[in-house]
Structure 1
Amino acid sequence: MQSVAIVIPARYSSSRFPGKPLADILGKPMIQHVYEKAASIKNATVVVATDDDRILSVVHSFGGKGMMTRPDHASGTDRLVEVMNEIDADLYINLQGDEPLVRVEDLELLIQAMTADRSIEVGTLYHAINERQAQDPNTVKVVTSHSGRACYFSRSPIPFIRNNEIQTNYKQHVGVYAYRKSVLERYTQLPESNVESAEQLEQLRLLDSDIDIYAFEVMKTGPGVDTPEDLQKVIAILQGKQSESEKSLLSNTELVITDIDGVLTDGGIYYDEHGECIKRFHVRDGLGIKLLQQAGIQVAVLSGKDSKPLRKRISDLGIDIFMLGIKDKEVACKEIIQRAGTTKVNTVYIGDDTIDLPAFISCGVAVAVADAPEYVKAKCDLVLETKGGFGALREIADKILIEQGNFKLLDDPSTFLKVHAAVTQ
């Protein structure tokens, strides 16, 4: 049995979010959420390593173990080395204090992997992301070998796709590390490398010094907290306003395809004196579409019917991709996805009845409105609380925007007014 110490570095100073470790999350400081997750791991010593008396006092107040460390450490790993001199262990886990949604099972997986193969000196985690997320320089990517050894970490999207016909899998690095004591003992003596300075990624110092890092795959993790906006996102998840399954389902959304009858309308059919079919739409759905578009998410519609009222509504909503009079929705969705320049896994389809089942096959996430038949709901990844024609699309739009951190579109009055000005009800 190897002894394990979980060290949680926590600084008070932060350019984007001062006092972040003490931010309140449902009545507890964020550092307590992280500490309690780590403390649930059997036979592990947990300590918060901080440079601020306020953080240390809070840790002691909830019964946690804390340690004051020097304020001039350049990185969390340097702080970990100082803790190592006071706390003896075989394995040291570096767990960031701004990860209140960290999963205990992910930490246990990392510990088990390091215990099973003692030749691994440094271990870490990653999960899959889409191409759009890979473009974000704040998202650190990793490329691994067949054995799981990390070849390189970068803020750039790696690997570079030279041939657009080739599909690749991007991997987001999760900043949790497990170190052998022997690595930490020589870490401060390792020279800082050029790539470490260029990328501002401390793990590159290890690779440049020929110390292998092995990365283990986990399911997509919850968001960390870098900004006050991130904090609100975490609170929404913990309050149950957004489930973990929704989070993982909707975080990659780039395209929403919706049926019309029974989703954007209530399914009722009205005829005027000229025999023209009239349909009832909901203004909230129209605003939801505009909000998605403002966030860079494309919206497309398809229907088994075609009529002047449908075309007029589509025009009013500013939707460029649509297919009407469609008999095969599976094929239609594939064509829409291609026209939108995205992929199946990044596409959400909203339907309400049996006719939509083929469309579910073509899209990564299947969503049903609240009044869909039970056997249709059973085929879906997510069931809404709102009936078709009463704001169902707005419900899924809000879920997507919350997951992707676009809070200003929802709760900032000035931003909302700019969007609303362009809306045709």
Structure 2
Amino acid sequence: MDAAHYPAGIIERAARIRLLAFDVDGTLTDGGLSFDSDGRESKRFHVQDGMGIVLLRHAGIEVALVSARPSDVTALRAKALGIERVHVGERSKLVCVQRMASEIGITLAQIAFMGDDLPDLAALRGVGLALAPADAHPWARQAAHWIAPRPAGYGAARDACDLLLHAQGKLEAILERGEHP
């Protein structure tokens, strides 16, 4: 998204963010759940979302995954992206986000959360920057400060990463370097 298209209030909120936490199913994935005949789960992740997460981490912004569903696939994706803060089986995503804020020594105003549905509402309402994919449920869209132009599992997370990198003045250096960190 072109920088001129970000509302000023969103840039102000995004400039303060030190941790971006993502819901997984319906945010980093398209929300589909696939199981083979042996009950093994598979998920589809978008490579651009992964690159955005890597760029955030290299820019000094922490990333976390917070999911209500326990999932080995989520843990494997997090490991591949170097994400250390992986919270699965979380009944209250807001409590999880509050716990991370305390551990890191930041306020909720310095946390962004991207979610797509009812289990994400409390976290969306409690953080400094609430984000939702374009195809999020209307409840999540209503709670969001900013809605990504792309849907979940198809670049919405990358849109959120690019927003933070732009707002914090880190995008130009990445583009100038023009290569993987």
* Residue matched to 2:15: 251
Q: Verify the 8 A CA contact 1:352 1:376 in the aligned structure 2.
A: yes
Shift of 1:376: 2.1
Superposed CA offset, 1:167-193 (max 9, x none): xxxxxxxxxxxxxxxxxxxxxxxxxxx
* Residue matched to 1:280: 44
| 1:119-268 alignment runs, 5 A limit | 237=3, 240-268=4-32
Shift of 1:379: 1.5
Superposed CA offset, 1:197-254 (max 9, x none): xxxxxxxxxxxxxxxxxxxxxxxxxxxxxxxxxxxxxxx65xx332212211211111
Q: Verify the 8 A CA contact 1:305 1:325 in the aligned structure 2.
A: yes
Distance 1:409 1:373 in 2: 35
Whether 1:417 aligns to 2:151 is no
Distance 2:34 2:104 in 1: 33
Shift of 1:289: 0.4
Superposed CA offset, 1:26-53 (max 9, x none): xxxxxxxxxxxxxxxxxxxxxxxxxxxx
Q: Verify the 8 A CA contact 1:260 1:302 in the aligned structure 2.
A: yes
| 1:329-368 alignment runs, 5 A limit | 329-368=93-132
The percent identity for this pair of structures is 32
Q: Secondary structure of the residue that 1:301 maps to in structure 2?
A: strand
* Residue matched to 1:309: 73
**Structure whose residues are more often helix by fraction:** 2
Superposed CA offset, 1:338-380 (max 9, x none): 2233211111000001110011233111111100122321111
* Residue matched to 1:391: 155
Distance 2:143 2:12 in 1: 18
Q: Secondary structure of the residue that 2:13 maps to in structure 1?
A: helix
| TM-score in terms of structure 1 length | 0.41
Distance 1:281 1:409 in 2: 26
Letter in 2 for 1:242: Y
**Structure whose residues are more often strand by fraction:** 1
Q: Secondary structure of the residue that 1:378 maps to in structure 2?
A: helix
Distance 2:171 2:92 in 1: 37
Cα 1:335–1:417 shift into 2, 3 Å = same
Whether 1:270 aligns to 2:12 is no
Letter in 2 for 1:257: A
Distance 1:289 1:340 in 2: 18
Distance 1:407 1:278 in 2: 33
Superposed CA offset, 1:298-351 (max 9, x none): 001110111221111111010011210111112111112222332111110000
Which runs of no fewer than 5 residues in structure 1 stay unpaired?
A: 1-235, 420-425
Cα 1:284–1:409 shift into 2, 3 Å = farther
| TM-score in terms of structure 2 length | 0.93
Q: Verify the 8 A CA contact 1:300 1:322 in the aligned structure 2.
A: yes
Distance 1:389 1:398 in 2: 16
Distance 1:318 1:340 in 2: 17
Distance 2:23 2:126 in 1: 14
Cα 1:409–1:397 shift into 2, 3 Å = farther
Shift of 1:409: 4.4
* Residue matched to 2:85: 321
Letter in 2 for 1:325: G
Q: Secondary structure of the residue that 1:299 maps to in structure 2?
A: strand
Distance 1:382 1:418 in 2: 27
Distance 2:103 2:125 in 1: 18
Letter in 2 for 1:279: K
Using CA pairs under 8 Å that are at least 6 residues apart, name the structure with larger relative contact order, 1 or 2: 2
Whether 1:289 aligns to 2:53 is yes
Distance 1:331 1:407 in 2: 31
Q: Verify the 8 A CA contact 2:29 2:153 in the aligned structure 1.
A: yes
Whether 1:378 aligns to 2:142 is yes
